[in-house]
Structure 1
Amino acid sequence: MNYIAARIRTVLTAALLTAALLTAALLTAALLTAALLTAHADAAPRVGHIVEITFSSDSRENVAAGWIDSANRPRTQQKPILPSFDDKTRLWSSTLTYSTRTPTTAFVVYLQTSGSHASCEVAVDGAVKTRNTVNRRRGIAVCG
C-alpha cells in the first residue's frame, strides 16, 4: 500500500511540474509573439523614456516572471524572488527600471505567484500604462 501511495504522489508531482513548465512555455511564446508586434504609437515609449515594471505577490519566492527588456528581447526568470516587503499591504514586490533603446518596446509582462496573489504594473515616465491583479492559487497576472 505504501508503494501505491508513493507512486500516486510521484505521478501527481510530475503532473504539477509538467503543468508549470507548460504554462511557462506558453507565456514565453506569448512574449516572443508580442516582441514581434508593433505597439500603438500612444502606448509605446519613445527612445530614452524610463520604463518601470513592478511585480507584487503575497509570496516572496514565485513560480515565474517574464517581460520584454529595453532591447525588445523577451526575458523570463524561474523562481523570481521579490525582495521588498510592505507591512501595510502584506505583499512582496520588486521593480525593474530601464531606459528604452527602441521606440517599439512592447508591454507584455507576467508574474505567476506561488501564493494566491499576483500583480504587475508597467509605467513609462511615471505614468501607469497597464496593470493587472489576479487573486487565485498559483495565479498568473499578465500586463500588456
Structure 2
Amino acid sequence: MEKGTDMGIRRWMTVVTVAVAVVLGLAIPGTAQAGPRNPTAGDRITIQVASDQRSTYSYWWVDGHNRWAPRTTQVGMNLRDFDPKTRLWSTTITFVSHKKRQQTAANITSWGGYARCTIWVNGVRVSHHVYRAPIFAQAQCGIAGLDPNRLDYR
C-alpha cells in the first residue's frame, strides 16, 4: 500500500469513529440529575435539625410535595436522637422530591441556647446554619431562597 492511501484510510476511519460516537451520545438517553442547588423530582433530600434540648419550641421543613411539614406545628416538639459525644438532640428526615421545582427550607427554634439545621440534596450539603443564644436559639436553612408561590398551602 502506498503511504498516501494509508493516511486516507486512517483519516476516514477516525472521522467515522467520531461520527458514530457523536450519534450514539445523542441517541442514547442518560439520566439527568439537577444540581444540588436546584433539586427536582426524584432527588433525595435530607434535613437534620439539632438542639441542646430534647424538647424544642418548634421545628418545620418543606417536604417532597412543597408543603410545610409536620402539618401541625406545636409547641414542645421532641427531637428523636441523642449524641453523647456532642450532647445534642437531633431529628433527621429523608425524602424523595415529587416536584419539578423542589423547595428546600427548614427551621428550628430551641428552648435552649443552641440550634442547628442542615440540608443535603443527593448527599451534597446545600444549607447549614448554627445559632447560639442565651435562650430560644433559632436556626434557619434555605429560608432566603424560599419561593412562597411554589409552596402548597393545602
TM-score (norm 2): 0.64
CA distance in 2 between counterparts of 1:42 and 1:126 reads: 9
Q: Structure 1: which 4+ aligned runs deviate by more than 6 Å? A: none
The answer as to 2:39 corresponding to 1:45 is yes
- Counterpart among 77, 80, 83 of residue 83 in structure 1: 80
Summarize deviations over 1:82-136 as a string: whole Å, max 9, x none. Answer: 1111111110011011000012121221000011100000001111010101111
Which has the larger share of helix?
A: 1
CA distance in 2 between counterparts of 1:63 and 1:130 reads: 21
Q: Secondary structure at the match of 2:86?
A: coil
Percent identical among aligned pairs is 29
Are the counterparts in 1 of residues 41 and 102 from structure 2 also a CA contact under 8 Å?
no
CA distance in 2 between counterparts of 1:113 and 1:42 reads: 28
Deviation of 1:43 (Å): 1.2
CA distance in 1 between counterparts of 2:100 and 2:118 reads: 19
CA distance in 2 between counterparts of 1:67 and 1:108 reads: 6
- Residues 47-62 of structure 1 aligned to structure 2 (within 5 Å): 47-62=41-56
The answer as to 2:62 corresponding to 1:63 is no
- Residues 107-122 of structure 1 aligned to structure 2 (within 5 Å): 107-122=104-119
Q: Secondary structure at the match of 1:72?
A: coil
**Matched AA of 1:139:** A
Q: Which runs of 5+ in 1 are unaligned?
A: 1-40
Q: Which sits farther off after the overlay, 127-136 or 77-86?
A: 77-86
Summarize deviations over 1:58-85 as a string: whole Å, max 9, x none. Answer: 0001001121111011225322211111
TM-score (norm 1): 0.68
CA distance in 1 between counterparts of 2:104 and 2:36 reads: 12
Q: Secondary structure at the match of 2:107?
A: strand
Are the counterparts in 2 of residues 84 and 93 from structure 1 also a CA contact under 8 Å?
yes
Q: How many residues align?
A: 105
Deviation of 1:42 (Å): 5.7
CA RMSD of aligned residues (A): 1.7
